[in-house]
Amino acid sequence: EAAPEVQKATTLHRLHEARDVGAECIVTACPYCEQAFSTTKGQSGRDDVKKMEVLDIVDLAYESAGLNA
């Protein structure tokens, strides 16, 4: 497991990077990553990042198919 400050910095960097290229959400298959993105986005100084949706890939598949997860 990464040191908490390294994990936070890396996660914030990825979130900012995603928004900078126009991503509206982050999708992951990793439960730990989903939790890290969800927790860390609220610590961003950017409102556009705070509003990003973080989804599990299975939830995205269900949503795309019009099903309830």
List, for residues 52-66, the tens digit of each pLDDT value: 999 999 999 998 999
Model pTM? 0.84
Q: Which long-range contacts does 57-64 make (Cβ < 8 Å, 24+ apart)?
A: 57/27, 57/28, 57/29, 58/29, 60/27
In sequence order, the 6+-apart residues with CB closer than 8 A to the CB of 10 are: 2
Answer for the pair 26, 59: CB distance below 8 angstroms, yes or no: no
Q: What is the mean pLDDT of residues 1-21?
A: 92
H, E, C per residue of 47-68: HHHHCCEEEEHHHHHHHHCCCC
